[in-house]
Amino acid sequence: MQNIAPVILCGGSGTRLWPLSRETYPKQFVDLGEGRTLFKDTLLRAHGTPASLEPVVVCNEDHRFYVTAALYECDVRATILLEPAPRNTAPAIALAAFALACDGTDPLMLVLPSDHAINDEDVFFKGVESAAALAEQGHIVTFGITPTSPETGFGYIEQGEILGDGYRVARFVEKPDAATARTMLDQGGFLWNSGMFLLRASVYLKELERFAPEIHAACRAAWDRRTTDGAFCRPDAAAFLASPSDSIDYAVMEQTDLTTVIPLTTGWSDLGSWEAFYQAEQGDDCGNVCHGDILTQDAENCYFNAQHRLLTAIGVRDLVVVETSDAVLVAPRERVQDVKAIVGRLRAAQRAECRQHPRVYRPWGSYETLVMDGRFQVKRILVNPGAELSLQMHHHRAEHWVVVSGTAEVTNGDETRLYSENQSTYIPVGTRHRLKNPGVIPLVLIEIQSGAYLGEDDIVRFADVYGREEKTRES
């Protein structure tokens, strides 16, 4: 079997999984417990695919540090392409195809959304092997999931004539109503459209140029004028933004005569709602799925998720309750799709809760806001071993750092010294300072900010190992 390059697509904001998922912290990066995320699951699944090459990850600026943190934690190397703005899957895959075809190797691309759950990975791997045999012959292969119920939240694929271990695609069906979904299941020969593909890079680019030439031209120009920034590859923004926004299904799959489908009979979900999370897990004796510190009495068939505190429930049925440090969602399970409407209202009101998650990842680690008031803010800062923040200063705030664990190397004005557990230092307004972790374990400290203005844009950066601009909104 020819080498396969996984392409992992990290677009989307996952607004239906608010409040855990935010615009800058979408569902594929949400911690599902013990550090597990959907992106890490996808990354390790791709890495374990037979004959797999180094993966290509396509994401945007806001999510790049979540990607690098996951790659570090999974000990996987990858090429990271940063989209200047979302343009749907057809342009995103085109960028990856240009990246993979530029050295003349022209591998098969295994295109995977970053937010799907697959129960039986052996079935998936065997499906990839079957798809590879077709893709090597020039076919564009998609994967269809054997349906178990008349779902209305998925698109469908109708199987045509047999081709190898798969079928030619007779047609694609948009998300149906309940009656149409039941009819298709009764008729047979229909699969859920998973949004996963296996195809040769050059074949995709050829068909894209044929059926969506504007997308092809814009992505080619964006790739030709790309720049690199450390671990990140940045296609030219102006060229990429000239591309129409379209999915691979509309731009190519429904136009070309090369489409085939490989059926996969396995538990699968795109986990697009809290109800999907409930259905994907085994409940307790009362049918409750619980994550976090949960205490229930006379509660049945509920989904409870508590991130920061004890959550108790008495005498409730069929609810979803999700708690984070800055927001709580309570909804009937049958109404969880309406979460998007709540997020829309938060966005219209310019509420930070729809966009920013309390925990923010950076190339050096992460920080989480614990307390915020008018003139002071408390953060928990984690710095990875060997990492350091920029040399910077603030015009409007002072900072007090207390080391919780690990060792901190602190530059404070003209002095640089080490601080260990329970030691602290004070950084006055206007003082140049830098924080570094010289140790081999994560550095954790508490930062207390005080001053008239505490915004993240009050940073003047003098030196930075990550190549960021001198004045920025990032720590």
Kindly report the average pLDDT of the chain as a whole number: 92
Q: By the 8 A CB rule, do 51 and 1 touch?
A: yes
Share of the chain above pLDDT 90, in %: 72
Question: What are the CA-CA distances from residue 256 to residues 6, 409, 466 (Å)?
Answer: 22, 58, 43
Per-residue pLDDT tens digits for 309-358: 999 999 999 999 999 989 999 999 999 989 999 999 999 999 989 888 88
Give me the number of domains the chain comprises: 3
The rounded distance, in Å, linking the Cα atoms of 43 and 57 is 9
Exposure of 318 by Cβ count < 10 A (0-12 exposed, 13-18 middle, 19+ buried)? middle
User: Is residue 353 in a domain?
Assistant: no
Q: What is the pTM of this model?
A: 0.83
- Say how many C-beta atoms besides its own lie within 10 A of residue 176's C-beta: 19
| Residue 295, SS3 per DSSP | strand
Per-residue pLDDT tens digits for 359-373: 888 889 889 988 888
Instruction: Lowest mean pLDDT of 147-151, 229-233, 265-269, 334-338, name the range.
Output: 229-233
> What six digits make up the tokens of 265?
């009979």
- Position 11, amino acid: G
User: Is residue 470 in a domain?
Assistant: no
- In the listed set 238, 269, 300, which residue is the last one of a domain according to the structure? 269
pLDDT of residue 269: 87
Say yes or no: 335 and 187 in one domain.
Answer: no
pLDDT of residue 57: 96
The rounded distance, in Å, linking the Cα atoms of 383 and 361 is 10
Per the DSSP assignment, residues forming a β-bridge with 368 are 359, 380
Say yes or no: 250 and 295 in one domain.
Answer: no
pLDDT of residue 230: 76
Say yes or no: 108 and 153 in one domain.
Answer: yes
Is the pLDDT at 471 greater than 70? The verdict is no
The rounded distance, in Å, linking the Cα atoms of 473 and 365 is 16
The rounded distance, in Å, linking the Cα atoms of 441 and 353 is 32
The string over 199-230, giving b where at least 16 C-beta atoms fall within 10 Å of a residue's C-beta and e elsewhere, is bbbebbbbbbbebbeebbebbbbbbeebeeee
The rounded distance, in Å, linking the Cα atoms of 133 and 124 is 15
Say yes or no: 293 and 437 in one domain.
Answer: no
Say yes or no: 101 and 175 in one domain.
Answer: yes
pLDDT of residue 140: 97
pLDDT of residue 469: 55
Strand 259-264 and strand 190-200: pairing? unpaired
Is the pLDDT at 467 greater than 70? The verdict is no
Domain of 132 in residue numbering reads as 4-269
User: Is residue 384 in a domain?
Assistant: yes
Say yes or no: 376 and 445 in one domain.
Answer: yes
The rounded distance, in Å, linking the Cα atoms of 241 and 288 is 45
User: Is residue 239 in a domain?
Assistant: yes
Per-residue pLDDT tens digits for 76-131: 999 999 999 889 999 999 999 999 987 778 999 999 999 999 989 999 999 999 99
Q: Identify the CA nearest to 367 among candidates 345, 342, 391, 384.
A: 384
Is the pLDDT at 13 greater than 70? The verdict is no
Is the pLDDT at 475 greater than 80? The verdict is no
Per-residue pLDDT tens digits for 18-75: 999 888 888 898 887 778 899 999 999 998 888 788 999 999 888 888 898 889 888 8
Say yes or no: 19 and 67 in one domain.
Answer: yes
The rounded distance, in Å, linking the Cα atoms of 440 and 417 is 17
Show the DSSP H helices in 5-63 as ranges. 38-47
Say yes or no: 162 and 49 in one domain.
Answer: yes
Query: Would you give the end-to-end CA distance of the chain in angstroms?
Result: 45
Q: Identify the CA nearest to 94 among candidates 305, 278, 243, 230.
A: 243
Q: By the 8 A CB rule, do 63 and 24 touch?
A: yes
Q: For the chain, what is the largest distance between any 2 Cα atoms, rounded to a whole number of angstroms?
A: 77
CA 429, chain centre distance (Å): 36
- In the listed set 322, 347, 372, which residue is the last one of a domain according to the structure? 347
pLDDT of residue 474: 44
Say yes or no: 253 and 302 in one domain.
Answer: no
Q: By the 8 A CB rule, do 321 and 302 touch?
A: yes
- In the listed set 218, 245, 269, which residue is the last one of a domain according to the structure? 269
CATH number assigned to the domain comprising residue 32: 3.90.550.10
Is the pLDDT at 473 greater than 60? The verdict is no
Higher local confidence (pLDDT), 448 or 72:
448
